[in-house]
Amino acid sequence: MTDTSSTGPTTDGTAPEAFDHVVVGGGMVAATAAAAIREAAPDATVLVLSDDVDAPYTRPALSKKLWTDPEYTEDDNDMGLAGTGAELRLRTRATAIDRDARTVTTSDGATVSYGRLLLATGGSPTTLDLPDDDRVVYFRTSADYRRLRALSGGQRHVVVVGGSYIGTEIAAALVQNDTRVTLVFPDEVLGGAVFPPELASSFERRYEEAGVALARGRRLERGTADDAGLHLVLDDGSTLDADAVVVGLGITPSVELAEQAGLTVDDGIVVDASLRTSDPLVFAAGDVAMYPDRILGRRRVEHVDNAKEQGPLVGRVMAGSDEEYAHTPYYYSKVFDLSYEAVGTIDSTTDTVVDDKGDGAAVAYYLSDDAVVGVLLWNVDEARDAARAVLAEGSAVDRDSLVGRI
């Protein structure tokens, strides 16, 4: 067990409550890390501080399975932290870290001490110039899911802002649940920023066929709210009235605590291959961590596979293991009948080679300086390791040789 005896007293002179491990953040990394610590060190005390109102849950289901599988409930979506023996404090925000005293101060005025500290704070959603109103949803949490459920259905009109995975998944989820949907996105073709043109067209067609109204090449600029609903203004001056608006425009990594504590931060909390920050007693993982990927180089990954792999690893390292993170994560999404996965950098401004597999399946290779930097698997299963192998080659590739590789 970690020694916590050298931590200092609180300002009123009483000793802070001591834990071997303190985890800040109540998301997917927090749940998997806490479980791994307790498994590796069953006697270790673990405290999870979460500003959420719900115990950790599987976030991807909030925009997919909870809408498309009537059998699947929020209870099924709970990640089971309660069964690990870790202590969870909900509605509790960590507000400051004192690395000399090895303490964390929380929003309820308490101070706890740690032997090892994990920062798994994820990110906060990008906001727009919209009123502070219950009908404006910056979609991220289970509470947001419940709110959107209450605001949708019954042929109500929901405007979804953002053409990346959260926006496209929510638009698909809503239109399949008796809701009129307008999707506002800046690209000329939905998915055009990430998919090669032929795949973007087939992606967009699914939305048209499902009845989603597409506001192409548009951004939401501002809006007002009254009893009748929301009144939204797009960047070309056109207007939309809606019963609710969902914004899915990405996140900013939550690095404030790390910055305040004087840890190295560079578009994320900088960690080494063992997910240690510049302080050997403090770790970071998941969406917030800038880590060295063995194949792709230093990066921050905002995807669930990364969270589910880094969480257990950082937990084991905190409990004493000397492992390093050797996994190159993939990303996945599902909308309508389409399931796609990607490894590496998916950006349609790079050169692409598309290998059409027929029956709506394809593999797209993204090239930069004649090296493959990303692979997209379009309705293709069980090919992630093959994609990683192509990426690991790194050096100049013969374009023609790519067709048929996967």
Ligand X SMILES: Cc1cc2nc3c(=O)[nH]c(=O)nc-3n(C[C@H](O)[C@H](O)[C@H](O)COP(=O)(O)OP(=O)(O)OC[C@H]3O[C@@H](n4cnc5c(N)ncnc54)[C@H](O)[C@@H]3O)c2cc1C
Nearer to ligand X, 243 or 341 (CB): 341
Quick check: 303 binds ligand X (CB under 6 A)? Answer: yes
Query: Taking contact as CB under 6 A, which single stretch among the options 189-197, 274-282, 304-312, 381-389 is the one that binds ligand X?
Result: 304-312
Quick check: 138 binds ligand X (CB under 6 A)? Answer: no
Quick check: 49 binds ligand X (CB under 6 A)? Answer: yes
Quick check: 343 binds ligand X (CB under 6 A)? Answer: no
Q: Which two tokens stand for residue 2?
A: 């970690």
Q: What is the largest CA-CA distance in the chain?
A: 71
**Burial category of 60 from C-beta neighbours within 10 Å (exposed 0-12, middle 13-18, buried 19 and up):** buried
Alpha-carbon distance of 73 to 364, in angstroms, equals 35
Phi, psi of 241 (to 5 degrees): -100, 140
Q: Are 24 and 103 in contact (CB under 8 A)?
A: no
Quick check: 93 binds ligand X (CB under 6 A)? Answer: yes
Q: Are 20 and 1 in contact (CB under 8 A)?
A: yes
As measured in angstroms, the least distance from the Cβ of 246 to ligand X is 10
Residue that is written with structure tokens 């089971």 in the block? 80
Q: Under rule CB under 6 A, which residues in 275-294 are in contact with ligand X?
A: 286-288
Query: Taking contact as CB under 6 A, which single stretch among the options 48-56, 154-162, 173-181, 238-246 is the one that binds ligand X?
Result: 48-56
> Which residue among 20, 204, 302, 309 contacts ligand X (CB under 6 A)?
302
DSSP state of 7: P
Site string for ligand X, 118-137 (x = CB under 6 A): --xxx---------------
Quick check: 72 binds ligand X (CB under 6 A)? Answer: no
Q: Are 245 and 135 in contact (CB under 8 A)?
A: yes
As measured in angstroms, the least distance from the Cβ of 285 to ligand X is 7
Residue that is written with structure tokens 């192509």 in the block? 390
Nearer to ligand X, 68 or 351 (CB): 68
Query: Taking contact as CB under 6 A, which single stretch among the options 50-58, 80-88, 224-232, 398-406 is the one that binds ligand X?
Result: 50-58
Quick check: 167 binds ligand X (CB under 6 A)? Answer: no
Q: What is the CA radius of gyration of the chain?
A: 22
> Which residue among 7, 37, 55, 59 contacts ligand X (CB under 6 A)?
59
Residue that is written with structure tokens 């067709």 in the block? 403
User: How many angstroms separate the Cα of 112 from the Cα of each of 3, 11, 44, 184, 262?
Assistant: 14, 12, 15, 45, 19
Quick check: 25 binds ligand X (CB under 6 A)? Answer: yes
List residues binding ligand X (CB under 6 A): 24-30, 49-52, 59-60, 62-63, 93-94, 120-122, 139-140, 166, 254, 257, 286-288, 302-305, 307, 331-333
